[in-house]
Amino acid sequence: MNEYKKAGVDVNAGYKSVELIKKHVKRTMRPEVLGGLGGFGGMFMPDLSKYNKPVLVSGTDGVGTKLKLAFAMDKHDTIGIDCVAMCANDIACSGGEPLFLLDYIACGKNYPKKIEQIVKGIAEGCVQAGCSIVGGETAEMPGFYPKDEYDLAGFCVGVVEKDKIIDGSSITAGDSLIGIPSSGVHSNGFSLIRKIFGDTPLELGKTYEGIEGPIGLELLTPTVIYVKIIKDINAKFPIKGIAHVTGGGFIENIPRMLPEGLKPVIFKTSWPVLPIFDVIAREGGIDETSMYGTYNMGLGLILCVKRDYSDKIAKEFNGYVIGSVEKGEGIDIK
């Protein structure tokens, strides 16, 4: 054991990490979870009696180079929310209910208190998404990762009734598009952001006109988890299609939910663009097309619904009617 520690792997630190994270994982427990942490496999016994034809939906993702900002700011308690959001939101876009999640943390050196902060964020994300942490892995990999850095990924499984899958197939010309606000940049486009603002503590500690506090903290604002709002809207007003605005921004993601031969027409004055995006464009000299092709511009989720109740949804759920579906290809942003 001592020889392994000399090689850079501290097994006792791993044990301590597990003890520290247990209270956070406990917050996420659903009644379907069997057993606890420490088994070779996480067990979950779903109640499928309410489904006629249950379909499992899965999603896996990481946080990308947003992690570099967490390292520089030495802030690790929210990055896990981003990880859960990137997995659970994708599941919810198909109408699915996230059930459980497994996480993977790979680090250069296991600092138990830091691991605890990461998992604290993951647990908070799972509470927001309504899913349980049923297992995970913390891999200490000296020589592969710098000792103060780590990578983070999640894998989530959900379920949806087959005839209630939201897949965009019923979308027709004339349907409305509703934007649901984001909290900021979320978890995409950070390689460009790091090029503009840097990724050292000194650079990220700077302030910019239009943003309160250090730019690094603003950029670390966690991704919104949209699971509950999707469920609440769909319970009252049938949703035809959903786009999670992640990498590729408006230009790549919104057309993905539409059948062939239809295009989204977006009116960019129909919602308030968050100040952070004005700062990114100004400081980086980024043109408007590139901004809409990279970032969410203040709307993390786009819903396609029947025009008859689009205004009601926007009013009740603090969204914006931002455009419509028309015949054509690509996307029009006017």
Packed helices 112-129 and 79-92: angle between N→C axes, nearest 10 degrees: 30
The pLDDT value recorded for residue 13 is: 82
Tell me the pLDDT tens digit for each residue of 243-267.
999 999 999 999 999 999 999 999 9
Cα 40 off chain centre by: 27
Both tokens of residue 163? 């005839």
- Show me where the domains of the chain are located: 2-164, 176-333
**Model pLDDT for residues 113-137, shown as the tens digit of each residue:** 999 999 999 999 999 999 999 999 9
195, with CB counted inside 10 A (0-12, 13-18, 19+), is exposed
pLDDT at residue 37 in the model = 74
Neighbours of 258 (CB within 10 A): 24
3-class DSSP assignment, residue 108:
coil
Q: For residue 127, is it left (φ>0), alpha (ψ between -120 and 50) or beta? A: alpha
Four-way CATH pick for 176-333: 1.10.1380.10, 3.90.650.10, 2.40.37.10, 1.10.3720.10 = 3.90.650.10
Q: In whole numbers, what is the pLDDT of the chain averaged over residues?
A: 95
First-to-final CA distance of the chain: 64
> Is residue 122 within 8 Å of residue 80, measured between CB atoms?
yes
Please answer whether residues 245 and 233 qualify as being in contact, where contact means their C-beta atoms are separated by less than 8 angstroms. Answer: no
Q: What is the pTM of this model?
A: 0.95
Q: What residue ranges of the chain have pLDDT lower than 70?
A: 1, 4, 6-7
- Amino acid in position 318: N
Domains 2-164 and 176-333 share a fold: no
Q: Tell me the C-alpha to C-alpha distance, in Å, between residue 334 and each of 42, 265, 276, 288, 301.
A: 49, 7, 21, 11, 19
Looking at residue 6, its pLDDT comes to 67
Burial 33-66 (b: 16+ CB within 10 A, else e): beeeeeeeebebebeeeeeeeebebebebbbbbb
State whether CATH 3.30.1330.10 applies to domain 2-164: yes
Contact assessment for residue 68 and residue 145, using Cβ atoms and an 8 Å cutoff: no
Identify which of 193, 186, 331 has the alpha carbon closest to the alpha carbon of residue 245: 186
Confidence at residue 10, expressed as pLDDT on a 0 to 100 scale: 73
Give per-residue burial for 230-257: e unless 16+ CB within 10 Å, then b: beebbeebebbbbbbbbebbbbbbbbeb
Strands 43-44 and 33-34, bridge-based pairing: antiparallel
Question: Residue 252 carries which side chain, given as an amino acid letter?
Answer: E
Residue 5's pLDDT is 72
pLDDT given at position 258: 97
Each as own residue / partner, the long-range contacts of residues 229-232 (CB below 8 Å, 24 or more positions apart, any chain) are 229/180, 229/301, 229/317, 230/92, 230/93, 230/95, 230/301, 231/92, 231/97, 232/317
